[in-house]
Amino acid sequence: MRIDLVTAFPDLVQGPLEESIIKRAQDKELVRIIVHDLREFTTDKHHKVDDYPYGGGAGMVMKPEPFFRSLEQISASVEDSRNLKIIYMSPQGELFNQKMANELAHDEHLIFLCGHYKGIDERVVEEFVTDEISIGDYVLSGGELPALVVIDSVVRLIPGAISDMDSAATDSFQQDLLDCPYYTRPEEYRGLQVPEVLLSGHHENIRKWRREQSLNRTTSRRRDLLSNHRNKKNGFDRTEDEYNGQA
Ligand code: SAM
């Protein structure tokens, strides 16, 4: 996979891209992430990326020219630019979720545009953007953190990015369920015990306990997910009894 990220604030993203799973995925050449400094696509001596809004009013707007130039350069660097996914991180976009992360993880090339101030000149959106994604109903100062959120959730799903793919497959939302609780050594800490069943070595009982915890948590915290899970039948071998009184 290749990911291009276009931003006026490259320092905001460099640190997170050089740590943990995202770094390892790049080291293993599972993904190539290229950060483009929008200011390098300006032509004036002050490298201006924003200007006053037509029509007046508060706030600045990100100028179209640097975005046009950067996207044209990125398009020119690929063999076939017809199916590029160009994503504008925007509070007005589709609400991001695990299903979208799973879908994006199948794409070969993602391009993220990060806005700032009042946002990007709409002509960039009209001309290039294929998808608008929001990470939630709140407004951040820029698209850098939202883009990192999406990139992190997508990269960890690329086969090989995390050592055990089963771990990602059992995470919350993958089966429309919340994940179960986890414990590690020591068995007892300050009088707090690990549940007996997890120490039993009885795999079937452990699996059942985890599933029950997962269903209980989903019921008490996210009932909305549970009905989805039930409807899809997910290949999860639960019985109707398990749902009785829950869904
Ligand atoms: N005027 C815009 C509006 O109300 O829709 C908000 C602009 S916001 C201050 C600046 C930039 O931050 C946006 O262009 C976008 O790239 C990014 N941003 C802010 N909140 C976001 C969110 N919830 N999801 C994704 N991107 C967001």
CATH number of the domain at 11, please.
Answer: 3.40.1280.10
Phi, psi torsion values for 4, nearest 5 degrees = -110, 135
CA separation for the pair 73, 41 (Å, rounded)? 10
pLDDT at residue 120, as a whole number:
98
Judge whether 139 and 4 are in contact, CB under 8 Å. no
Domain assignment present for 93: yes
Distance CA 186, CA 207 (A): 21
Is residue 186 domain-shared with residue 137, that is, in the same domain? no
Q: Indicate whether 151 and 175 sit together in one domain.
A: no
Instruction: Determine the atom of ligand 1 nearest the C-alpha atom of 141.
Output: 9
Side-chain-side CA neighbours of residue 210 (13 Å)? 16
In this predicted model, what pLDDT tens digit does every residue of 179-219 receive, in sequence order? 999 999 999 999 999 999 999 999 999 999 999 999 999 99
**High-pLDDT (> 70) share of the chain, %:** 94
Task: Say what the pLDDT of residue 229 is.
Answer: 86
Structure tokens that stand for 18 in this block: 């050089």
Say if residue 130 is in the same domain as residue 225: no
| Helix H or strand E encompassing 206 | helix 203-221
Task: Write out pLDDT tens, residues 78-112.
Answer: 999 888 999 999 999 999 999 999 999 999 999 99
Q: Tell whether 54 is covered by a domain.
A: yes
The CATH number of whichever domain residue 205 belongs to comes to 1.10.1270.20
pLDDT class for 240, splitting at 50, 70, 90? Answer: very low
Centre of ligand 1 from the C-alpha of residue 241, in Å: 45
**The pLDDT of residue 241:** 54
Closest residue CA from atom 23 of ligand 1: 91
Residue 53 is predicted with a pLDDT of 98
* Ligand 1 center–CA 115 separation, angstroms: 7
Q: Are residues 89 and 15 in the same domain?
A: yes
Amino acid letter, residue 177: L
Q: Is position 162 within any domain?
A: no
Residues near 107 by beta carbon (within 8 Å), at least 6 away in sequence: 1, 85
The answer to whether 9 and 47 have CB atoms below 8 angstroms apart is no
Cβ of residue 119 lying under 6 Å from some atom of ligand 1:
yes
Helices (H) and strands (E) in the chain, counts: 11, 9
Its domain, for residue 227, covers 170-243
- Per-residue pLDDT reduced to its tens digit, 110-167: 999 999 999 999 999 999 999 999 999 999 999 999 999 999 999 999 999 998 888 8
Q: Is the pLDDT of residue 246 over 70?
A: no
Instruction: Assess if residue 219 is contained within a domain.
Output: yes
Distance CA 199, CA 216 (A): 21
Q: What is the pLDDT of residue 242?
A: 55
Report how many domains make up the chain. Answer: 2
Any ligand 1 atom below 6 A from CB of 53: no
φ/ψ of residue 164, rounded to 5? -125, 105
Ligand 1 centre from 72 Cα, in Å? 23
